[in-house]
Amino acid sequence: MIKIKDLKKKFGKNEALKGVTLELGEGKVIAIMGPNGSGKTTLLKCILGLVKADSGDIYVNDCHINGECEYRKNVGYMPQYSCFPENLKVKEVMAMIKDIRGNHCVYDEELLSSLKISEMNDKQIGTLSGGMKQRVSCAAAFLFGGSIIILDEPTAGLDPVSSELVKNKIAAEKEKGKLVIITSHIVSEVESLADSIIYMLDGRIYFEGTKESMYTQTGEADLNKALAVLIERNRSNEKG
């Protein structure tokens, strides 16, 4: 569904992406991990067309991204930090998103219901807590039934009940054959949800594969410990 070849991006002197190459297939949950500044969000924004790469190619469902925007109708996106207009009410934000997207589709309102978004309908965005804003943002990401769902730290700030509802939704969408890409610093979440892990360091892919292959490579049977081994190896390589 998504093919990326030798993607590079600089912000001034900072090389955010240093030749990233990936293929991401349907019917999977893929977790992109790495420390802050590793290039995760830049990579996602390049896929979404929100950031233009300096060089390299991205194909989404065989559409070469080069200023095209039509492919985004099939993509749902939840940013790490929602930035809805704070003076609008929740119901007005949802109406605005539907109007901007212009999708003529059957809306997937499962999370609107289970996350109880209607109870917030008449509240202004500016009066909501961080967790409430996350619930609105997450429900919006799934609303249009996209075949690709991109979620940047989807459960950050959510209460335990809402977090489980979102994780169950992610698993259900995978079973429908969709590609779900998440970033997360929550190791237990990745361990329970992800079919494949991409670990980024300093703008490069340092590991790509299943949890099981990471365990084999590191000799650890715990994801947290396996990630620690990967990081330590990277530090050793840098010193060497």
Share of the chain above pLDDT 90, in %: 70
Mean pLDDT comparison of 33-37, 94-98, 177-181, highest-scoring range:
177-181
> How much is the pLDDT for 239?
66
pLDDT tens by residue, 43-69: 999 999 999 999 999 999 888 887 777
Angle, CA of 180, 129 and 41, to the nearest 5°: 35
> Which tens digit of pLDDT belongs to each residue from 93-111?
999 988 888 777 889 999 9
Question: In the structure, what pLDDT confidence band is assigned to residue 238 with cuts at 50, 70 and 90?
Answer: low
Residue 48 to residue 175: CA distance in whole angstroms:
23
pTM attached to this predicted model: 0.92
Q: For 202-220, what is each residue's pLDDT tens digit?
A: 999 999 999 999 999 999 9
Question: Looking at the predicted structure, is the pLDDT value of residue 185 above 90?
Answer: no
Locate 240 and state its tokens. 């060497």
DSSP state of 147: S
Cα–Cα distance between 22 and 18 in angstroms, integer?
A: 13
pLDDT score of 240: 58
* Domains of the chain, start order: 26-35+71-209 (3.40.50.300)
